[in-house]
Amino acid sequence: MLDFLLTSEAIMALLTLTFLEIILGIDNIVFISIAANKLPEHQRAKATNIGLLLAMVQRIVLLFFVSFLIGLSKPFYSIETNWLELHISWQALILFVGGLFLIYKSTSEIREKVAHPSHDEEQVKGKKITSLSNALVQILIIDFIFSIDSILTAVGMTNGLHPNHNYTLVLMIIAVMISIVIMIGFANPIRKFINTNPSIQMLGLAFLILIGFMLITEAAHLSHTEFFGNKVGAIPKGYLYFAIAFSLFVEFLNYKISKKSKSQ
C-alpha cells in the first residue's frame, strides 16, 4: 500500500485530485455559508464546520459505493456486428454515464456562470431556515448534489492506477479528507481568491470536461470496443496531468502579469 502511495503517479494523482476537489468545493462553501448565515451569529461557524465534515463523510460513503460498482468488471451484455463489438460491464457503464454527466454538468455550469452567475445563490437564499438542524438538512442536500461530480472526478483520476481497487479507494479518501481539511481551515481566503480570480474556477470546470472525455474512452477501452476492426485505447493519464499542469502554469503567469499591471 505505502509503496503505491509513494509512486510518482499516485502523488501526481493525489495533488491534482486535491486541487480539483477544492475547486469543485468552492460553490459548496458558498452555499453552506449562505445557509449558515441565516442562523444566529453564535451558530454560524458551527453549522459551516459541521456541514463540511458531513460533506466529507458523505463523499467517503459514496466512494465506497461507486468503488464497489467499479469493481464489477465482468461483462453482462455483448454486442457483436460486422462493424461494432462491445462487451458491457457495470464498470464500463458507470464510467461511461459518469463521463457524460461530467461533460454535461461542467458545460452547464460554465454557461450558467457566464449568463447567470448568481442563479444558484438566489435559489439557496430563497429557502427558509429556522434552526441548526434545519440548516444541516439543507447543507446535506447541497453536499449530496455537489458530491456526485466530485466522486466521478476522483474515479476518473484514479481508475487504472493500480489493479487493486482498495489502493485507489484509499488514495481517493485521502484526497477528499485533505481537501475538506483545507476548506475548513481556509474557506474564506480560498473563496475570496476564487471570487477575485473566476478564471481559476472556469479552468477547473474545463478540466472536468477533459476528465469526462477520458472516462468515456476508458469505458470504451474496458468494454473491448471495436469500430470497424479498430480497438479503442485508453488515454494515458500523463497527458491529462500535463494539460492540467500547463494550463495552471499559464494561469499563474496571467495572474502575475495582471497583479503587476494593477500595482503600477
What is the per-residue pLDDT across 54-73, written as a single tens digit (0 to 9) for each? Answer: 888 888 888 888 777 777 77
pLDDT at position 186: 76
pLDDT at position 264: 66
How close are the terminal C-alpha atoms of the chain, in Å?
Answer: 51
Strand partners, 84: 227
Cα separation, 101 vs 74, whole angstroms: 23
Which residues of the chain carry a pLDDT beneath 70? 116-130, 187-188, 191, 195, 264
CB 71 within 8 A of CB 91: yes
pTM above 0.75, yes or no: no
Cα separation, 56 vs 69, whole angstroms: 20
Half-sphere exposure of 111 (CA within 13 A, CB side): 6
3-state class of 219 per DSSP? helix
pLDDT at position 118: 59
pLDDT digits (tens, 9 = 90+) for 144-188: 777 777 788 887 777 777 777 778 888 888 888 888 888 877 766
pLDDT at position 188: 67
pLDDT at position 49: 80
pLDDT at position 89: 86
DSSP code of 161? S
Cα separation, 209 vs 22, whole angstroms: 17
CB 36 within 8 A of CB 137: no
- CB burial of 80-90 (b: ≥16 within 10 Å; e: otherwise) equals eeeeebbbbbb
pLDDT at position 123: 56
C-alpha distances in Å from residue 188, one per residue of 153, 165, 194:
24, 35, 10
Name the region of 81 (left: φ>0; alpha: ψ -120 to 50; beta: rest): beta
Q: Which of 148, 168, 149 is nearest to 160 (CA)?
A: 168
C-alpha distances in Å from residue 60, one per residue of 31, 66, 148, 177, 187:
20, 10, 11, 9, 20
pLDDT at position 28: 73
pLDDT at position 21: 82
C-alpha cell at 148: 456526485
Cα separation, 168 vs 7, whole angstroms: 12
C-alpha distances in Å from residue 160, one per residue of 83, 117, 131, 221, 236:
28, 36, 45, 11, 10
